[in-house]
Chains A and B, each alone.
Chain A
């Protein structure tokens, strides 16, 4: 059992959850994820680790309400327990000094980007970070990002904060103003697709972290498979990070929608049960 020791809501639908996971806190690195299961009847979902404290034995996850499991997670309180947390899973991010790195994060994708920004900075890179979201309240972890970035550009779709425009506009502005050696783009699939199309125009090697559907997260089931460079890869054991230019985005987005109807129905049912309880 993994006790929640801290919870902070960034907005109504996005929260940071710090929970006890001493072994994982010790062994995790930037880029790793965990699989969690909330209770006996819960599903197994992957969440990228946003931070960890080996001394306190805790890891940090950032969760956005998108369905039943995330809603149940956000309904938890400090002191509550999560039944199962397993990890760290996947390959850690390959960290080396390459020069200037453009790090673009969209929405809750900013959370998994944070440890990568931190590690890349510590490796001696110049970091320019672009944080993007639909609206001001979806720009999260800005202070932490500023601490490890040489520059931070903020983009909102509605112009409620930073500059008005899509993440790609912010990225392009950076690329035009200085030489970028590498890019890391993490966020919703559609954002990663267009973000990586932008960097590809300028031949900048780009890494993305994929967030596909998973069950076991250890290579056993193949639910997370995507085509990368024309070959089927398992995100859980071959990834989660891949060369953005090789990812088949259409297939990935199609696969992520496999349970759309069931997920929607389950969420409706869940909302009803919550209503009857309260």
Chain B
């Protein structure tokens, strides 16, 4: 799939598509309303860990697919980091060939059920949809349709395995089993490589498992996608830290000819304010890992977690939303977001903010913690916050928050989750002396091939970006797989 634009165009000229386009007038299509995703009742769901979005029915999916105009220049596809043939899969849904739709998505996306749930479609495909851009109407619900196709296929028990090239016997190692690593592994397997994914934790999936909660992305769904990759021949090795358990050099000696490093941004940032190390103050990584990966809230499991009545989550990203909504579900009476800018600047997905609001999450926007206090056992019991106002836009383009002097006041809290961002995890890159890094600790790569300063090592995802989304990481993984393929094919030719 060298040229995405051509791949997408080719499909459009097929006879069935042309016929389908003629079967309904454009006016009729554009007059249809966007279907709504059924959701669990907010006051029921904020006490359970079942998925918030329930998924759309076949009827709704077909109805939504009717809205898609199958544009000659499908701008939606420009917005997709993994290059999904969006109009083709939607038109498959319109003809009720749901399995066919899933197969189209899987041509370029290793984790459709995941992306259909957690991608910020409103900033990608749906933002670039003809409806959004030209008609000023709600976009085609591309994300909901993607999820529908993936769920339909999974529930049908007829999971298709993408076409795989003749095995070439060349060993490639993928370091990290998060979205970047899985996407790279999927494509490398399709090219015929003998792929082993090495994971430091005891579970495969990276942030999809330890980070994103059940109510947004059930672990079972991630596991099904991983099983599918096993069927494609991808091998997984847990409890293995490349650079520690064995060095890159050890693995080269074992025959690995190229590496993809997708080791993620697993280093939590703190604010370095007084009292931040009191008990009951967690990084979002720790809080979510305990609850999601270690199942700490389930008394059957040995890992403990602290519960809070008054919980403050610091930050305004998706991880902050995940943390605060988790705290609410674990029994918090008051669960609040403390964010230093206003709702408008919040980096979290709009859908997640809405869901949080519906679930009685409080938003203390334009507030910033400055100090924590604790009881005699060292458990946090109070936080001092300062009010903020917005100034001129900063380098990120968002208006800079400015503290208002003398505006401090105290809030009772017994649990605080700090979700102010993460840094690249140094554990893998620090084992490679010659690897070129940026001053932020990210790996320097060629932006097309994702090749690092060490020729057989490629990298992508948060270890290159510093902190981004699942789908951007997956896009990097795919690019790197193509880069590795080119590198190895040239190497084979040279020998």
Contacts and interface: CB of A to CB of B under 8 A. Distances in A.
Interface of A: 23-24, 26-27, 37, 41-44, 68-69, 83-89, 215-216, 218-223, 225-227, 232, 237, 251, 254-255, 257-259, 262-263, 266
A215 B203 CA distance: 13
Interface in B301-354: 301-304, 306
Nearest to B276: A232
B240 A86 contact: yes
Given A219-B427, A222-B283, A262-B304, A85 B239 contact: yes
Given A41-B300, A222-B270, A227-B277, A86 B427 contact: no
A255 B425 CA distance: 23
Contact of B378 (A26, A219, A257): A257
Nearest to A85: B239
Contacts of A44: 202, 294, 303
B467 interface: no
B298 to A, nearest CB: 8
B277 A251 contact: yes
B241 A86 contact: yes
A220 B202 contact: no
A232 B201 contact: no
A236 to B, nearest CB: 9
A170 to B, nearest CB: 31
Interface of B: 200-202, 210, 238-241, 244-247, 250, 266-268, 270, 272, 276-280, 282-283, 285-286, 289-290, 294-295, 300-304, 306, 377-379, 425-427
B264 to A, nearest CB: 8
B302 A27 contact: no
Contacts of A87: 241, 244-245
Contacts of B304: 43, 259, 262-263, 266
A42 B302 contact: yes
A216 B289 contact: yes
A38 to B, nearest CB: 8
- Interface residues of chain B: helix, strand, loop or mixed (majority): loop
Contacts of B266: 216, 218-220
Given A69-B302, A86-B202, A218-B266, A23 B425 contact: no
A232 B281 CA distance: 13
A86 to B, nearest CB: 4
Given A84-B239, A86-B245, A258-B306, A218 B378 contact: no
A19 B268 CA distance: 32
B239 A237 contact: no
B279 A255 contact: yes
Contacts of B290: 215
14 contacts: A23-B240, A41-B295, A41-B300, A42-B301, A69-B302, A86-B201, A86-B240, A86-B245, A215-B286, A218-B425, A221-B285, A221-B289, A258-B378, A259-B304
Contacts of A27: 244-247, 250
Q: Which of A41, A69, A87, A257 has the most CB of B within 10 A?
A: A41
Interface pairs A-B: 9 shortest CB-CB: A221-B286, A254-B378, A220-B266, A86-B239, A262-B304, A43-B303, A43-B302, A258-B279, A222-B283
A263 B296 CA distance: 12
A23 B245 contact: yes
A225 B245 contact: no
A149 B378 CA distance: 40
A182 to B, nearest CB: 26
B245 A220 contact: no
A24 B245 CA distance: 6
B279 A216 contact: no
Contacts of B306: 258-259
A255 B294 CA distance: 20
Contacts of A221: 268, 283, 285-286, 289
Contacts of B286: 215, 221-223
Contacts of A258: 279-280, 306, 378-379
A42 to B, nearest CB: 5
Contact of A237 (B289, B377, B426): B426
Contacts of A232: 270, 272, 276-277
Nearest to A253: B378
B279 A43 contact: no
Q: Which of A215, A216, A220 has the most CB of B within 10 A?
A: A220
Nearest to A270: B302
Contacts of A222: 268, 270, 282-283, 285-286
Contacts of B201: 86, 216
B268 A68 contact: no
Contacts of B272: 232
A89 B244 contact: yes
A123 B300 CA distance: 48
Nearest to B203: A84
Contacts of B302: 41-43, 68-69, 266
B351 to A, nearest CB: 26
A222 B268 CA distance: 7
A208 B397 CA distance: 46
B302 to A, nearest CB: 4
Q: Which of A69, A86, A227 has the most CB of B within 10 A?
A: A86
A254 B247 CA distance: 37
Contacts of B300: 41
A23 B277 contact: no
Contact of B268 (A23, A24, A220, A254): A220
